[in-house]
Structure 1
Amino acid sequence: MCRCCLGCSGEEGSINSKVILNIFYKLSRAVNVDVVVIGGGVAGLSALNTLFTHGVKDILLLEAQDRLGGRVHTIRQDGVLVEEGAEWIHGGEQNSLYRLATKLDAVDTNLPDDAWDHRFVTQDGRLVDSEVYELAELLMNKCKENGMLVPFYNTSYGQYYIDRIQEAYRPGNNTASGKALLHYLEHMVNYEEGTGSWQDMSARDADQFINYGDDHQWQDGYDTLISQLTVGIPDSTMKLSSPVCKIFWDTPDQARVLVVTLEGDTFLAQHVIVTASIGHIRERHKHIFSPELPASLVTAFMAVHLGVANKVQVGWDEPWWGTDPLDLHIIWTTFDLPLDMSWLYGEVNIYSIHRHRGVLQLFVTGANSIHVENLPEDIIKKHVLYLLKRVTGENIPQPTFFRRSRWSSNPWTRGSYSSYITVSGAKAGIHHRDQLAVPLTNSKGKAVVVWAGEHTHNTRYGTVDGAMDTGKREALRIVSLIKSSSSLLPAVEN
């Protein structure tokens, strides 16, 4: 069924003469505004905040969902606080987000390593030497050194690990222990990168990321950031449950952009900042933008995938495993699960979550993640309890807390965590994220649409600070454009 709010003649997004007439009608009724920000995630809110700070007040933010935050979503339920989306502040003083959180006195103190109950076991609970984890960590750290990934620029990030493990692990890849190590390493890397498959991610893209050091967490939830970004901003400038279905960026007016929501509200803006996730843009760009986006920009968008990573969080009133927070690593040496439980093969690390040691978290990536989104909650619980009983040998009580995220099913995200340039995308010439941030320039040569979001950051993609910095970047671009256009206007005589 067509979702185009202007009407069309068959295929979704196709435009006929009636629609063209309707455009003129919409133009005549549209509300004028200086800037429309599309998306109320961290990038959009950062853009909004920056515009306000620099004196641009005639702004409207349109958010498709009924809440702000985007892929930041803090849940408070039954006295438990969990993060359905972003969880970490990646890095220290070099990270603008860490500096902001420190200024707010909102960074929690990390637990020392020896405070954790680290366990390394097979799927049947047999103890495994921590050497497996240490070797995986060594390879993951080595890849961050200058030049290590250069030989793999024409292939995948995963190929680096496959090749290096042959050198680093003496028994070799083809032994039973080598295959178990490789499986463990693959899923640990997919956890860290938020990708579906390490063989799909370009090694060249992975090499662009700059690491800022240790991870940190918020004392009282990631939504502390959302509250901070909206301080002093009038509620009237943020419109929730307002998905944008059309952006006419080269209108008969030619000076402004016509933005239309699914409810039929229309706005004429001097500039538009699009902060939608790359997953949503990839899926909907043909239907949303008129004229269609330039081929070079489409090529760049289609070269970048958004990884699907979901969380399963299971909790008890008291931790049945002991008093210390649990860090359980599973080394799969046999693969004997029933087909409907095969998603559990991807679970190689189960751990206690921040500030709630009675709640365990499983991170599920790729095809397994999509599969889990479609399973009934009682089946997921059953599978998790089976795995925990098998690897610990304990009788596991029924949980009192359960949550499962569904980021791929969300049409406004179509994924979560990290975007990545694919191997095929890199071969097509997409090597830098600024290729996804080229402004749309209309027939008058005016830059009318700009792009923000973690996927447009060259070196900090997949991070909240990357999203925040790109929102600020594009807001400052708009401020500069507005000041430039104002300076060209004739002086008004008194």
Structure 2
Amino acid sequence: MGLGWPSLLLPLLGLLFRIAEAAHPCDVITGSYSNWIGSAINKEVVIVGGGISGLSAMKTLIEEPVTNAVILEAQDYIGGRVKTYREGSILVEDGAEWIHGGPRNPLYKLADSLGMLTQPLADSAYDWRVKTSAGTKASEAGYNVAEDVFYECEKSSVMQNYYNSGVGQCYKDKFGSFYNNGLTVPGEKSAWLHYLNMFVLRDVGLNDWMEESGRDFDQFISYGGEDKLNQWSQGYDALTNYLKNSVPQGKIKLSTPVCKIFWDSDPNGKALVVTSTKEAYLTDYVLVTASIGHLQERHLQLFDPPLPASYQNNLNRLDLGLADKIHLGWSSPWWKKLNPKPLDLQVIFKTFDLPSEESWLYGVMEVMGVHQQLNLLQAFVNGDYAQKMEDLSDADVKRHILKFLGRVTGQTVPEPTFFRRSQWGKNIWVRGSYSSYITVSGDQAGLKSRGPLAKPITNSHGNKVIFWAGEYTNTTRYGTVDGAMGSGTRAARQIISDM
């Protein structure tokens, strides 16, 4: 029987839908410098991106004062990968959540000075369980080994031996000796190694623990006390609001993606910035604070002429990790009716026999209470597992995680009253979550630190016109909010000194 018109049209309609879905908002912007210069608005500084680095840069400029500046933010909110979500009494963080490192972290001091610092709960305050994915009890000794190995490989004296290999090799090597010397269960060894792998992907922000250069890892400076998870008591957007309050009204434009930066076409040596809203800005300086994931994907379309080959090469010597979150809430804590505590559930996989569509759950190694809200649970999903999760519907993700929780706890899990999951990989302005890393191949190709990524670009007039900020440009505190903040301040001071 021949195919009817409906049968022929359905695949075609599906293809057209995928093409429409894949279209980028900036693809509608065409034309050369000469097409846009006539309508250009004059600015001293244009900041591309209203994340923490962009806001910090603007705060620094305003204090000088450099007043003829504007932030152009592609999304409909400021903060970038700091994104607090509220629904009724529920507060969750889609992105950055903790202030790591205690009082040495400038964010700790800032939150404390604003009366917004939450101290972490003691370990004894949690309902702590160590289980297999099948619901049986797992050995706590395995958890202790994973934790000890994690901190062992943070030592510079240890990581120096892995400069020519991925950081994962350190974890693998140390895990073998630590596990065999501990009071551990032999039948759980491979399960705890997988757990450690997911632990590292979550906390370091990698897609694959064999990808990050040991040299890059070793350049990160820890402030100490990384296990002390302080938080902003009223949400991380308290930081966003603090920075925003220093910026005069009208200097931040939301939903205004930057689509073209003509950085070497102006006869006076300036740059011309064009947005998807068909606005043009002629400026002395452009400060680019966009995510490294976005830049890797769009730099050939964004910059005219293309960036110098050396900078393009260095951009491609990094990767941006992906870690998503799933949040679930109930009217009461089902895991314990009497005298409940926040749940902290550690999970290992002794077998890998989940149905294919549920295989993303292998990326979940912990389910825990969050933001000191007793009725709320949070799970991280890392790397390729996070990408698989993002490709599923909300309904499927919720169904899978509820089934998983029931199997691991051995309890009946009621339908949640709240569900939310992040999808940072699908976000075209980010394409990842919180931490960049120099890859092993990138290190071997010559990128030994992030310094070259923070170096301004000079045009043919000898003018420094493009400056860079963002966590990926911070050599010692990459992947952190304080690192992004510091990079914005540094770039703004570079611009001020060049004026």
TM-score of the pair, normalised by structure 1: 0.92
- Residue 195 of structure 2 is aligned to residue 184 of structure 1: yes
* Alpha-carbon distance in structure 1 between the residues aligned to 2:185 and 2:439: 27
- The Cα shift of 1:176 comes to 3.6
Find the counterpart in structure 1 of residue 13 from structure 2: none
Quick one: structure 1 residues 396 and 296, their matched pair in 2 at CA, closer, same or farther if it must change by over 3 Å? same
Quick one: structure 1 residues 406 and 6, their matched pair in 2 at CA, closer, same or farther if it must change by over 3 Å? closer
- Given candidates 52, 71, 74, the residue that maps to 1:61 is 71
Find the counterpart in structure 2 of residue 488 from structure 1: none
- Which residue type is aligned with residue 202 of structure 1? S
- Residue 397 of structure 2 is aligned to residue 387 of structure 1: no
* Alpha-carbon distance in structure 1 between the residues aligned to 2:348 and 2:451: 39
- The Cα shift of 1:317 comes to 0.9
- The Cα shift of 1:93 comes to 2.4
Q: Which stretch shows the higher mean deviation, 463-472 or 165-174?
A: 165-174
Partner-residue secondary structure (3-state), 2:38? helix
- The Cα shift of 1:253 comes to 2.2
**Partners of 1:144 and 1:207 within 8 A in 2:** yes
* Alpha-carbon distance in structure 2 between the residues aligned to 1:460 and 1:183: 27
**Partners of 1:121 and 1:329 within 8 A in 2:** yes
Find the counterpart in structure 1 of residue 354 from structure 2: 337
User: 1:213-248 CA distances to partner (integer Å, 9 max, x unpaired)?
Assistant: 233111000000011001142221111111011001
Partner-residue secondary structure (3-state), 1:167? helix
* Alpha-carbon distance in structure 1 between the residues aligned to 2:235 and 2:272: 37
**Partners of 1:5 and 1:263 within 8 A in 2:** no
Map 1:463-478 to 2 at 5 A: 463-478=480-495
- Given candidates 219, 232, 248, the residue that maps to 1:208 is 219
Find the counterpart in structure 2 of residue 13 from structure 1: none
- Number of matched pairs: 469
- Given candidates 252, 260, 267, the residue that maps to 1:246 is 260
- The Cα shift of 1:24 comes to 2.4
User: 1:39-60 CA distances to partner (integer Å, 9 max, x unpaired)?
Assistant: 0000000001110011100001
**Partners of 1:5 and 1:264 within 8 A in 2:** no
Find the counterpart in structure 2 of residue 161 from structure 1: 171
* Alpha-carbon distance in structure 2 between the residues aligned to 1:123 and 1:25: 60
- Residue 344 of structure 2 is aligned to residue 327 of structure 1: yes
Find the counterpart in structure 1 of residue 162 from structure 2: 152
- Which residue type is aligned with residue 443 of structure 1? S
- Residue 133 of structure 2 is aligned to residue 123 of structure 1: yes
* Alpha-carbon distance in structure 1 between the residues aligned to 2:416 and 2:353: 26
Map 1:85-124 to 2 at 5 A: 85-124=95-134
- The Cα shift of 1:171 comes to 7.7
* Alpha-carbon distance in structure 1 between the residues aligned to 2:224 and 2:235: 21
* Alpha-carbon distance in structure 2 between the residues aligned to 1:335 and 1:358: 30
- The Cα shift of 1:114 comes to 1.1
- Residue 413 of structure 2 is aligned to residue 402 of structure 1: no
**Partners of 1:5 and 1:245 within 8 A in 2:** no
Percent of counterpart pairs with the same letter? 45
* Alpha-carbon distance in structure 2 between the residues aligned to 1:90 and 1:303: 27
* Alpha-carbon distance in structure 2 between the residues aligned to 1:145 and 1:163: 14
- The Cα shift of 1:84 comes to 0.6
* Alpha-carbon distance in structure 1 between the residues aligned to 2:404 and 2:235: 29
* Alpha-carbon distance in structure 2 between the residues aligned to 1:59 and 1:349: 44
CA RMSD between the two structures: 1.6
- Which residue type is aligned with residue 251 of structure 1? S
User: 1:413-469 CA distances to partner (integer Å, 9 max, x unpaired)?
Assistant: 011111111111111111111121111101121111100000000010000000000
- Given candidates 233, 238, 245, the residue that maps to 1:231 is 245
- Which residue type is aligned with residue 121 of structure 1? K
**Partners of 2:29 and 2:276 within 8 A in 1:** no
Structure 1 residue ranges (4+ consecutive) displaced by more than 6 angstroms after TM superposition: 171-174
Q: Which stretch shows the higher mean deviation, 332-341 or 410-419?
A: 332-341
- Given candidates 199, 214, 235, the residue that maps to 1:221 is 235
- The Cα shift of 1:78 comes to 3.0
Partner-residue secondary structure (3-state), 1:97? helix
- Given candidates 322, 326, 342, the residue that maps to 1:312 is 326
- The Cα shift of 1:255 comes to 2.3
Find the counterpart in structure 2 of residue 423 from structure 1: 440
- The Cα shift of 1:175 comes to 5.6
User: 1:167-224 CA distances to partner (integer Å, 9 max, x unpaired)?
Assistant: 2121899964221121111111111112111011212111111111233111000000
- The Cα shift of 1:4 comes to 4.5
* Alpha-carbon distance in structure 1 between the residues aligned to 2:276 and 2:389: 30
User: 1:324-357 CA distances to partner (integer Å, 9 max, x unpaired)?
Assistant: 1111011211122111111111211110111212
Partner-residue secondary structure (3-state), 2:281? strand
TM-score of the pair, normalised by structure 2: 0.91
- The Cα shift of 1:25 comes to 4.1
* Alpha-carbon distance in structure 2 between the residues aligned to 1:169 and 1:254: 65
* Alpha-carbon distance in structure 1 between the residues aligned to 2:353 and 2:465: 56
Partner-residue secondary structure (3-state), 1:263? coil
- Residue 472 of structure 2 is aligned to residue 461 of structure 1: no
**Partners of 2:81 and 2:96 within 8 A in 1:** yes
* Alpha-carbon distance in structure 2 between the residues aligned to 1:45 and 1:58: 15
- Which residue type is aligned with residue 423 of structure 2? R
**Partners of 1:120 and 1:130 within 8 A in 2:** yes
Partner-residue secondary structure (3-state), 2:104? coil
**Partners of 2:266 and 2:272 within 8 A in 1:** no
User: Where in structure 2 are there 5+ consecutive unaligned residues?
Assistant: 1-22
- Residue 270 of structure 2 is aligned to residue 256 of structure 1: yes
**Partners of 1:47 and 1:474 within 8 A in 2:** yes
* Alpha-carbon distance in structure 1 between the residues aligned to 2:398 and 2:36: 50
Partner-residue secondary structure (3-state), 1:207? helix
- Which residue type is aligned with residue 288 of structure 1? L
Find the counterpart in structure 2 of residue 491 from structure 1: none
* Alpha-carbon distance in structure 2 between the residues aligned to 1:177 and 1:84: 33
Find the counterpart in structure 1 of residue 11 from structure 2: none
Find the counterpart in structure 2 of residue 11 from structure 1: none
* Alpha-carbon distance in structure 2 between the residues aligned to 1:129 and 1:178: 10
